[in-house]
Structure 1
Amino acid sequence: MSQSSPQGPALEVRVEVEPSFREEESAPAEQRYVFSYTVTVHNASRHSIQLMARHWKITQGSGKVQEVRGKGVVGQQPVIGPGQRFRYTSRAILDGPVGVMEGDYTCIDTATQRPFEVPIAPFRLAGPNQVH
């Protein structure tokens, strides 16, 4: 029988994000600001989980909102064992030097095959000389 915390498995999975401005890939004169972000998914539960899908909401400084949905991350649907972590890096291209990303992952508990959502707290994308 599987057990998880009273709050559910999502609270046993933690997501950390480290954004970075990619100056060498950006072209401000063309309103192209490239950011990379490195995500670390920590599985603190007692079961393996599989990251099945992603949903990102990207709000640009102009107020324009873009939503991105897809299977897995960076072409993978990784299985993350108990106490393990999965780390990957991806990119976002904005039309201005500032934006905010947030979202969630859809995962499954591999022991029960039950899906659950893992929220990803908002994080700021800011180019050079922008107030953090």
Structure 2
Amino acid sequence: MTTDIAVSVKTHYIADQSDPTDHRFVYAYTITIRNQSNIATKLLSRHWLITNGNNNVQEVRGEGVVGEQPHLEPGEEYTYTSGVVLETEIGTMEGSYQMVTDNGDTFDAQVPTFALVPPHALH
């Protein structure tokens, strides 16, 4: 079975919710999930590995995304925005979505590693 789920990510540092003196760095991330296969697919759950600048890893698992389990017809996409708080100025996230096709096949759609970096830290 070929499953073709494309995942793209955009991140945004939220300065007004962050407090560097309190080791609080807040990021929003917007993810678009596109079903490029020829069969409808539903997102069941998510699995994240969130790594801060000290290499401390937080693992997060849960049903759906932002309280939803989107069902994507072929060619459809779903976009959502969520957030994460780090204890360090920079970090990374990576993970996967656990999916099921309308014919019952389950698979993981990988989310490539993406950086959480405030604009002033970019070179």
- The TM-score with structure 2 as length reference comes to 0.96
RMSD over equivalenced CA pairs, Å: 1.0
> What residue number does 2:82 align with?
90
Alignment partner of 1:123 is 2:95: no
Query: In structure 2, what residue type is equivalent to 1:101?
Result: M
Paired AA for residue 18 in structure 1: K
The aligned counterpart of 2:41 is: 49
TM-aligned CA deviation for residue 64 of structure 1: 0.5
Q: 1:15 aligns with which of 7, 20, 25?
A: 7
Q: 2:67 aligns with which of 66, 75, 83?
A: 75
Post-superposition offset of 1:35: 0.1
Q: What is the Cα deviation at residue 30 of structure 1?
A: 0.6
Q: Write the letter of the residue equivalent to 1:96.
A: T
Per the normalisation by structure 1, the TM-score is 0.90
Counterpart of 2:106 in structure 1: which amino acid? P
In the alignment, the residues of structure 2 paired with residue 127 and residue 85 of structure 1 have an alpha-carbon distance, to the nearest angstrom, of 28
- Tell me which stretches of 4 or more aligned residues in structure 1 moved more than 3 Å: none
Structure 1 position 54, deviation (Å): 0.2
Q: Which amino acid aligns with 1:122?
A: T
In structure 1, the partner of 2:51 is 59
* Unpaired runs of at least 5, structure 1: none
Shift of 1:98: 0.2
Cα offsets for 1:89-120 (capped at 9, x unmatched): 0000000110010000000001x111111010
- How many residues align? The count is 123
Residue 130 of structure 1 aligns with an amino acid whose one-letter code is: A
Q: Secondary structure at the match of 2:21?
A: helix
Partners of 1:100 and 1:53 in 2: CA distance: 20
